[in-house]
Structure 1
Amino acid sequence: MVERVIATEEALALIEKLKEQHGPVMFHQSGGCCDGSSPMCYPEGDLILGNQDVLMGEIGGAKFYMHKSQFEYWKHTQLIIDVVAGRGGMFSLEGVHGKRFLTRSRAFTKEEMLELGLI
């Protein structure tokens, strides 16, 4: 089955580094506010999830969540988590490494949308 969220090799390497430093980690796709719209990485359990958060999948063994209202906009796309140089969200673990996670995306093909029950 097609995955809703995947990660680049560079992102997977950074996730492993963060897990070595902090133990298990998790992600939540920020929907704006003070950190813009970016994937935020937290120690697992540090962000309290609500019943409106949707589990998108896992990357590097880390669960990846998004708010239900945001999911409605993104449900036709695959999220591709990447890493770029620079400072990202002030609450995300990777900031001290001079890198930040970035969400790229691509639209699902018709076949993938059928597989996911979107059409």
Structure 2
Amino acid sequence: MSTNTPSPSTEPDSPADPSDAISVAQRTDVETAVPAEAPVYRCDYCGRPFATESYRTLHHGLAHEGVLTDEGREAFEAAYEDENASLRRFRIIALGLLVLLYFGFLFVFAVVT
């Protein structure tokens, strides 16, 4: 009786865990487009276009982490921290607006009834 064991892939970007394959595919199979008059920042490894250098740096860290230099890894970590700070600020503002909206409707309901 033979067992079907998957052979290890020789691709540098392929994950060791099959459950990670979905996340790698999702990170790299997104179509990108840059307006014609905007500057284009192309990936050094796969040639995909990006609208900002920060997006390209984030792409390098997510899709090509196995081939990054120390300098590239530091740039990715800095861009990742900046992106997280922006997302955190957005979430706090969105939560504040939802709380204001909730209490606004609550007060309107209290006045109307």
- TM-score, length-scaled by structure 1: 0.24
Which structure ranks higher in relative contact order (CA pairs < 8 Å, sequence separation ≥ 6)?
A: 1
Larger Rg: 2
Q: Which structure has greater helix proportion?
A: 2
